[in-house]
Structure 1
């Protein structure tokens, strides 16, 4: 029988497309909605997780097809460093306790690009901090806020993919962990054909141009949105707020929609600060080289720091 599949992210690697379009239409597997996955695996506090209860919440018994789970927060939330890097390995243990025969799917992305997309999402989601403050993590904080185990913030280490890949390989076996660069989505048919061969999944959705999904706002639009975000406390934790206006969240979404329709404001793509790029090159290169060697992935051709 074809094995269950657990897709753990990462964020900003077309997870929404997989969850809304690709996996629900699969003919070979039964897609479990994200809310069920979150309730079963993410919601229980540390020592209150029970594998049998999780199986019940996922309704695994009695299904006629293998399941597919897709939830990017299983690899950790991007804006808080995966709670100081603790969520990723804990979710791996929980998945193994519930679905020990699962095939694990991990999508990665060139770190400069994933950092750019992460900051753009932070602002789009309500953030007000500059790149310097956001990527600075603990540097621009005081007291207890400088301790990531007390008040988590963005951490570069979250997007160092190789340690989490190695952790999953140790739990499930290397042959059950499948790694795909996000950049391969440019050739959607080839990527999904590869996934079919690897995972035994039969896709049934209608193909569409992957590059048209999740287009980010441009530099000028993001600057305006940052200003509008000062008038609501939602939806990210680490931000400033002048006043939490009634309806401020509605205003924020309205501003985003209006700006998205003004093409000149989105003509210039967000650029990362030079120090952010330098940090990415320095931190991520060793792990990327190991992944390229062990997995035979063309990360050099895809623009990954090496």
Structure 2
């Protein structure tokens, strides 16, 4: 299996994966090739590594689905990319905590590949995921979204806080692929210095002599509504039954378009004082629940990736 010319971007979700996929990985003049890509990331990766039946998974057969794309990219002098943020986990799926199993499958198919992992400060990640859950039709309060206090044994909240102990997944990938084959970057570096962020990725895969024009990349925006808008959205979700597990799953649906436009308008005209009050409540609630949960993990992560995460606002 010739996969030494392959970069696998595994997420995490809510770390500007779309920005990478649309601004960097799809551009041949950036040195990358993603021949398996559709309009949304690489859905073939979900089929082959996440939803595949465990008894049917075969590394050789799986590799054959990617072989031609890898060869074509290599012949063109490009670096192949598999980019799918759900390879790490899926916060909005009760069964979406498959990080270790997917890592094993990826390594069995592409043992020489390089791996890119993007992390995000935990409180910010939780709030971003909660906002996405509401936008997809969720009805939970922030307490219900993250707390195990009111759940019976064997039942779990949608968002499991332990998944943000990044050192566990990072260490496992380093053990599988090799420490030098895994690059971990904080999402906050992209917000602070996008040029440095991109250069880290280029240096990691050995792409040289590329001019990085900041003007050509997509604008990094906040996809969520503001806090009080989300509160109204959550209340209204109780009066609708959305397709597919209670989520709005099609941007072409009339209902989806109407809600999108309505809440976008609300987001602009709701007084900022109300938005700030609700954000303060959400921030305090999340801080109360997580307490010092991630300090030790962030310290270990800083050591693993040789980067001081406290400089990016992580609890260390």
Under a length normalisation based on structure 2, what TM-score does the superposition of the two structures give? Answer: 0.81
Q: Distance in 2 between matches of 1:190 and 1:61?
A: 27
Equivalent in the alignment of 2:119: 108
2:174 alignment counterpart = 169
Aligned mates of 1:205, 1:36 — CA distance in 2: 29
Structure 1: 5+ residue stretches without partners: 240-245
**CA offsets 1:187-222 (integer angstroms, 9 cap, x no match):** 111111121111224667853577742342112211
Q: CA deviation at 1:72?
A: 0.8
**Post-superposition offset of 1:81:** 6.4
Change (3 A) 1:267 1:26: farther
1:46 to 48, 51, 54: 54
Deviations 1:141-176 (A, max 9, x none): 34xxx414xx67210011111100011011101110
Q: Distance in 2 between matches of 1:182 and 1:163?
A: 18
Unpaired segments of 5 or more residues in structure 2?
Answer: 248-252
1:284 aligns with 2:286: no
Selected match of 1:140 from 150, 161, 164: 150
Equivalenced residue count is 292
- 3-state SS in 1 of match to 2:116: strand
CA distance in 2, matches of 1:238, 1:152: 16
Q: Give 3-state SS (helix, strand or coil) of 1:6's partner.
A: strand
What is the DSSP-based 3-state SS (H/G/I as helix, E as strand, rest coil) of the residue aligned with 2:310?
A: coil
**TM-score relative to the length of structure 1:** 0.84
Which residue of 178, 183, 188 corresponds with 1:178?
183
Alignment of 1:29-40 (within 5 A): 29-31=32-34, 32-33=36-37, 34-40=42-48
* Residues 1:63 and 2:69 are matched in the alignment: no
Report the more deviating stretch, 272-281 or 18-27. Answer: 272-281
Moved more, 254-263 or 194-203: 254-263
For residues 41-83 of structure 1, the C-alpha deviation after alignment (integer angstroms, 9 at most, x for no partner) is 2231222212223223334453233410111110010134663
